[in-house]
């Protein structure tokens, strides 16, 4: 089983490496969106410090959303997905592996870059850790819940926008907790509650979401 998972992850990472530009584009989108808000709301430092966690988190949400389109698309196009579904490994495990690889490529970089972007907002020093940790816990949840949406909309016309409509309401709790953790830390209360809840969400999503994604994939592939 672990061999299967390792193979799948390695393969997906290899494919992503060969299409580095796709990954880079998603990352660039994240950077641009975060940079747009100060242009829109004005450069006042206090305001920017206040909206920083929310803006960064929303941008992370949108970038994850964009990247989700790529999760199953390539494999579906060349028939690999059907082979995987017919194969010996449980589809839930396959989906988990793909979601993990997807997160490594589109979620983890966000975690790394976010503190740099937070500099633009003059986020107070002690909050960078909380920000990074909240994203570290939250972005995998986004990948896993998003995988359900990606599986449901596989191959449909207008799949990208439909995916957004389906998945963004489900992202809302993660957003609230993630941004909330940083905001609570900023208020001096400490973001531990939110971070713990995010961790709990991660565990539950890891347990349940692959099952739903696998069911959705089977429905889409018939």
Q: How far is the CB of 120 from other proteins (least distance, A)?
A: 23
**Spatial contact of 139 and 59, defined as CB atoms under 8 Å apart:** no
> Does residue 206 belong to the site contacting other proteins (CB under 8 A)?
no
> Does residue 215 belong to the site contacting other proteins (CB under 8 A)?
yes
Site string for other proteins, 161-180 (x = CB under 8 A): -x--xx-xxx-xx--xx--x
Q: What is the dihedral of CA 106, 7, 70, 182, to 10 degrees?
A: -20
**Spatial contact of 1 and 83, defined as CB atoms under 8 Å apart:** no
Q: For other proteins, give the closer residue by CB, 59 or 151.
A: 151
> Does residue 188 belong to the site contacting other proteins (CB under 8 A)?
no
* Rounded Cα–Cα distance for residues 67 and 27 (Å): 9
> Does residue 93 belong to the site contacting other proteins (CB under 8 A)?
no
**Spatial contact of 205 and 145, defined as CB atoms under 8 Å apart:** yes
CB atoms within 10 A of CB 117: 21
Candidate residues 8, 114, 185, 212; the one interacting with other proteins per rule CB under 8 A: 212
Site string for other proteins, 124-153 (x = CB under 8 A): ------------------------x---xx
95 token code pair: 């989906």
> Does residue 85 belong to the site contacting other proteins (CB under 8 A)?
no
Q: For other proteins, give the closer residue by CB, 101 or 147.
A: 147
Q: For other proteins, give the closer residue by CB, 133 or 164.
A: 164
96 token code pair: 């988990």
> Does residue 48 belong to the site contacting other proteins (CB under 8 A)?
no
55 token code pair: 């803006």
Q: 110 to each of 30, 120, 171, how far by Cα in Å?
A: 8, 15, 16
CB atoms within 10 A of CB 4: 16
> Does residue 46 belong to the site contacting other proteins (CB under 8 A)?
no
Q: Which residues in 149-178 are b (16+ Cβ under 10 Å) and which e?
A: bbbbbbeeeebeeebbebbeeebeebbebb
Q: How far is the CB of 164 from other proteins (least distance, A)?
A: 10
Where along the sequence are the contacts to other proteins (CB under 8 A)?
148, 152-153, 156-159, 162, 165-166, 168-170, 172-173, 176-177, 180, 183-184, 197, 201, 208, 212, 215-216, 219-220, 222
């Amino acid at each position: 089983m672990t061999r299967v998972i390792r193979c799948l992850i390695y393969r997906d990472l290899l494919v992503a490496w060969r299409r580095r530009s796709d990954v880079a584009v998603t990352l660039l989108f994240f950077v641009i969106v975060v940079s747009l808000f100060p242009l829109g709301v004005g450069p006042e430092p206090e305001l920017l410090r206040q909206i920083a966690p929310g803006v960064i988190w929303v941008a992370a949400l949108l970038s994850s959303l964009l990247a989700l389109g790529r999760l199953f698309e390539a494999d579906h196009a060349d028939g690999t997905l059907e082979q995987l579904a017919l194969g010996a490994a449980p589809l839930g495990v396959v989906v988990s592996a793909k979601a993990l690889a997807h997160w490594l490529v589109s979620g983890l970089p966000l975690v790394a870059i976010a503190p740099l972007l937070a500099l633009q907002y003059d986020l107070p020093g002690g909050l960078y850790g909380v920000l990074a940790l909240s994203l570290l816990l939250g972005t995998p949840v986004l990948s896993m819940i998003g995988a359900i949406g990606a599986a449901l909309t596989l191959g449909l016309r207008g799949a990208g926008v439909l995916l957004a409509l389906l998945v963004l309401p489900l992202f809302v709790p993660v957003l609230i907790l993630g941004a909330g953790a940083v905001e609570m830390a900023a208020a001096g209360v400490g973001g531990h509650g939110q971070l713990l809840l995010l961790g709990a969400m991660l565990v539950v999503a890891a347990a349940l979401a692959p099952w739903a994604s696998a069911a959705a994939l089977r429905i889409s592939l018939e």
